Structure 1
Amino acid sequence: MRAQNEQSLPLHKLITESPTRWGSRLQMMERVLEQEKAITQVLAADKKTRHLVPTWQDIQVLESVTAALKPLQDFTDALSGEAYVSMSYLKPVIHLLKAEVLNRNEGDTGLTQEIKVKVLDYWNDKYADPATDELLSVATFLDP
């Protein structure tokens, strides 16, 4: 807390990844980026932990992965609802991901672009089957 106060950072605890919550990994990385200065200060103050101080390369990787995954979090949350039907959302969401969200941006790092391409390849492979595509089209059409 002292390092957070000295660095004028929010008094947030670090987040631990939970294997049952997809978004927890992204939240963990965002919190590390938010608290980077305090983490560095605390780790650098002790000889035993000094070697754990994140390098600029570590931070750049976290920023690149976060930039690629952040737009997907809202869609994942919406599609994983249990109180409402979400199958009919899938086809429009896939279209939006392909058409806009996962497009390459001028400011994207090479790693961010590579992650976006891999995600798009995954979606294309997963939903390439004509029977699946027809099922999603019918579900989307029939949803009031």
Structure 2
Amino acid sequence: MTEPRDHPFVAAVKPLVDAMGGEMMDPALAEPDDVVLAWEGQELLAVRLPQLSDSLDRILAVLERRHGVPLAQLDRKAKQDVVRILEARGAFSVRHGVETVANALGVSRFTVYNYLNRDAAAQTKAEKTAKSEG
């Protein structure tokens, strides 16, 4: 990127771009799928967003850092919580998402599906209870 990296706008968006796993570059190098960001009418930088499969790997790494141990070492409840978080983030819409998550958690695909089905059943039960009380 030829623009100064200390520009206030660049400094403001850098944490967001880093959290998404994006890459900042000179707008002149932008490809059609990149997002060009402007400040006061001047194009300052382009952002190349990661592929969805890269995003899943990044999310898994963040969760692992948050827990402080490899995800496979978590207890069952913590693994269920991780699956719940990943489902909310769209991890299972990615091709091979279930397999990737199962490998990271050290469980089978069947176990991941069981965690997902358990949460879906609990959600349905909660909705029915809420309707009957309302």
TM-score for both structures, normalised by structure 2? 0.40
Of Structure 1 and Structure 2, the greater strand share is in 2
Q: Higher RCO, 1 or 2 (CA under 8 Å, sep at least 6)?
A: 1
TM-score, normalization by structure 1: 0.38
